[in-house]
Amino acid sequence: MAPRTAADIRRSNLFQVLRRVFAAAPTSRHEIVAESGLSMATVASIATELLAAGVLLEVAPATRSKGRPLTRLALDPAYGSFVGVDVAETYLHVARYDASLTEVASTRREVDGEVRTPEDLERHLTDLLAQVTADRSTVRAVGISVPGLVDDESGVSVYAPNWDWRGVPLRARLSGRWQLPVHLDNPLKALMVSELWHDPDAAEANWAVVNLGTGVGAAIAVAGELYRGASNSAGEWGHTTVAVGGRECRCGGTGCVEAYIGAPGLVAFIEQVAPGHPWTTLGETAAVQALAEALAAGDDVARQVVAAAGAYLGAGLANLVNTVNPERIVLAGWVSDLLGDALLEAARPGVEHQALARPLQSVTMSRLTRPGNAVAFGAATFALEASLSQAHTEGSR
Amino acid sequence: MAPRTAADIRRSNLFQVLRRVFAAAPTSRHEIVAESGLSMATVASIATELLAAGVLLEVAPATRSKGRPLTRLALDPAYGSFVGVDVAETYLHVARYDASLTEVASTRREVDGEVRTPEDLERHLTDLLAQVTADRSTVRAVGISVPGLVDDESGVSVYAPNWDWRGVPLRARLSGRWQLPVHLDNPLKALMVSELWHDPDAAEANWAVVNLGTGVGAAIAVAGELYRGASNSAGEWGHTTVAVGGRECRCGGTGCVEAYIGAPGLVAFIEQVAPGHPWTTLGETAAVQALAEALAAGDDVARQVVAAAGAYLGAGLANLVNTVNPERIVLAGWVSDLLGDALLEAARPGVEHQALARPLQSVTMSRLTRPGNAVAFGAATFALEASLSQAHTEGSR
DNA sequence: CGACTATTTACAGGGGTCGGAATAACTGCT
DNA sequence: AGCAGTTATTCCGACCCCTGTAAATAGTCG
């Protein structure tokens, strides 16, 4: 949404200030001025607006040796709470955050195979939601991340590969049932938003977040804004071909990145390296866990598996580097969390081989190490953003 | 460049108006209002500014049956002329355009193998420039497209794969020699800019231009603006891996798209399908030409070659569809021109197989059929844009 | 009560967009 | 010839932004 009118500039600046306040814990207006490049006057005006709206709070002034102590700004936890939901293929994670986006409560349920229909999901989520919220009236909005393709505007899960759902109007259903505003998107977009809030300096940059889990995907930020593409399916990097005529992928294609480095793809590599290996019977979550442990113990099979998968990951990342030319790539997701840096290191030579020198030079690759469920956090942030955005445009009407 | 200040909005609107005036030949202010969504007042103010600057011209008013006749707007050819240069790997094409971007003169020289050093290029271009411009003082600026990676800001050819040039400061050299402002970029960016001017409706969209020639690459537009990435190397789609461990590519990687569907890649397919076939000895330009002719005549080898290459092109395009989620993809370049729709048709099944349903649904693929050298045109347009942009910011100072 | 630093407020200046009133320029009718 | 009807453009004032400066206000330490 390229700013067309002056009001858009205002909103964009307002969110920048908000993100910076969040990221820098209690900050002063001066710090924000220094970091954002906005003028003192502008920051002050935005701050007063947010203060008046009850979004921000002035916290205990820090007394310095000399002069007036600076009043610190922080998000006001009392503004309300926001719920973030990470619907993954093997588990559900629901967390409630106060308006300063600190987690208040969270719960998780393994649902491997237990969710088949939207009704199942609805039932589980309603249950989990009740677990984290005593009083639903304090919740301002819920953000939900669902794997697959999501139409963010209509709140419809367009295609969820694991359950083969097509066009399920999740937002309408859940919002109706809970009587709360619900925002829907997929894990990648949630991760990206999470990162944009945690690191507002990167909020100017072009970069990508890569999610490694059962499914695999990426989210791309252009000039610090989540890039959605024509139909909110930009970043479906997991179904990018890296081997013409290669492994079959559940998307129906062949040789997709996901087929090699998604959790089932890793299991396939185990089978390939050591046919009949006991890990292959464990189920993907446990198998990856076992792989991680064995890797730490220096197991040879594990090493070979990671090396094999790493080659494909490397090619996939190099593709991202060459086409998107990002400033950095961040790896996230439970597979990345479990395998740690090993997978990234296994991918590095491949990236260096396949990526062109110039874009390679300008990219940094790292692993997301923030504690907690970043997807749930991001989903809650979505809800917060939407909530504030609405309040802001309404307030100025 | 996300507009941060009101002036950015102005510039963006100004260029939008300009592009629309160009694309719709003589238009009225009203048409622009209807198409751009800007208000009458804004369009009028921009129009008067451009009129005053001498960029626009009011042409013969069209008298209607009733009411005040509308004055039509057009770019003023008398504003000056702009030169566009397409430095390709096998030829040089230099064209001069008046300020309404209609071609006034052009010349072309085959230089297969004759250009080795920057000095060679400088000599040839100086020569060709003289051929198209009688009076150099009427030329406002020159835009040059050079294959490979270009740093647009510093005007340096960072890496030109065919000549193995690294860090050649072309802009400084040529600008100094010709005493004219010179703008440097690569063919993809030029193509993209050309399309953005010719089809301003697409200038709101996210889409891609793919260039098929000796080298292969893509340019991506986000929200109607050329996307450059972190170091102006976004869109190096030609060096995207489509087959891990596949054919060696001149970039040093393996299995790059370019290795399969760049002109040398096509020749390799000929050798593969029919070892020792006479076409393989022709040189790439002639070989592709022969291939095109044989294809039209229904030759079987040609058909097989195109089918084989098409499969890789399909995978490559699908990757673009899945990661960028563009509204359309346009194929350009001399290989695309010679082989016509056959190659695109050969690629289509692959795209449909590998791309996800939703992004596939929202993409249109077509071939660029505009007559003339679109790269030279785009290069000239770069020069025009830069020239006006400078004039505009200076004018308001 | 200084001295000193943080913030707020007020204001002028420079951009922009927008809607609506006023004006221009024709055609056609009387 | 003059006037009404129409449509294209320009003009003006309202309004929204950001910015820099300057002065007023706050809060603390010595």
pLDDT, one tens digit for every residue, chain B (397 residues): 355 677 888 888 899 999 999 998 788 898 899 888 888 989 999 999 899 888 998 887 766 667 788 888 999 999 999 999 999 988 999 999 999 999 999 999 999 888 999 999 999 999 999 999 988 889 999 999 999 889 888 999 998 888 889 999 999 999 999 999 999 998 999 999 999 998 877 777 899 999 999 999 999 999 888 899 999 999 999 999 999 999 999 889 999 999 999 999 999 999 999 999 999 999 889 999 999 999 999 999 999 999 999 999 999 999 999 999 999 999 999 999 999 899 999 999 999 999 999 999 999 999 998 888 999 999 999 999 999 888 877 765 4
CA distance B1 to A352: 29
Asked whether residue B366's C-beta has any atom of DNA/RNA strand D within 7 A, the reply is: no
Do the beta carbons of residue A368 and residue A330 sit within 8 Å? Answer: yes
The CA distances from residue B382 to A137, A289, B181, B260, B387, in Å, are: 56, 54, 11, 31, 8
Low-confidence winner among A21-25, A191-195, B384-388 (lowest mean pLDDT): A21-25
Q: Using the beta-carbon criterion (under 8 Å), do A159 and B252 form an inter-chain contact?
A: no
CA distance A324 to A210: 13
Find the Å distance, CA of residue A50 to C1' of nucleotide C5. Answer: 24
Helix axes A263-273, A300-324, angle to 10 degrees: 130
List of domains in chain B: 6-75 (1.10.10.10), 79-185+374-395 (3.30.420.40), 203-362 (3.30.420.40)
Q: Residue A365 burial by CB count (10 A; 0-12/13-18/19+): exposed, middle or buried?
A: buried
- pLDDT for residue A135: 85
Asked whether residue B4's C-beta has any atom of DNA/RNA strand C within 7 A, the reply is: no
- pLDDT for residue B269: 96
**Residue B37 or residue A125, greater confidence:** A125
Find the Å distance, CA of residue B45 to C1' of nucleotide D12. Answer: 13
Structure tokens at B306: 């195109």
Helix, strand and coil content of chain A, in percent to the nearest 5, comes to 50, 25, 30
Q: What is the pLDDT of residues A284-321, one digit of tens each?
A: 899 999 999 999 999 999 999 999 999 999 999 999 99
Q: Using the beta-carbon criterion (under 8 Å), do B2 and A224 form an inter-chain contact?
A: yes
Q: Using the beta-carbon criterion (under 8 Å), do B318 and A229 form an inter-chain contact?
A: no
Nucleic strand C contact set for B 37-56 (CB, < 7 Å): 38-42, 45-46
| Cβ neighbours of residue B162 closer than 8 Å, sequence gap 6 or more | B89, B147, B148, B214, B215
CB pairs under 8 A between A and B: 202
Asked whether residue A369's C-beta has any atom of DNA/RNA strand C within 7 A, the reply is: no
CA distance A3 to A11: 9
CA distance A335 to A314: 16
CA distance A62 to A41: 22
Measured in whole angstroms, how far is the alpha carbon of residue B24 from the centre of its chain? 20
CA distance B157 to B150: 5
Interface test with A, best of B156, B158, B354, B363 (most A CBs within 10 A): B354
Q: Residue B283 burial by CB count (10 A; 0-12/13-18/19+): exposed, middle or buried?
A: middle
Question: What's the pLDDT band for A397 if we cut at 50, 70, 90?
Answer: very low
Kindly list the residues from chain A whose CB atom is less than 8 angstroms away from the CB atom of residue B253. Answer: 318, 353-355
Closest CA to A21 of A56, A69, A45, A60: A56
Kindly list the residues from chain B whose CB atom is less than 8 angstroms away from the CB atom of residue A205. Answer: 230
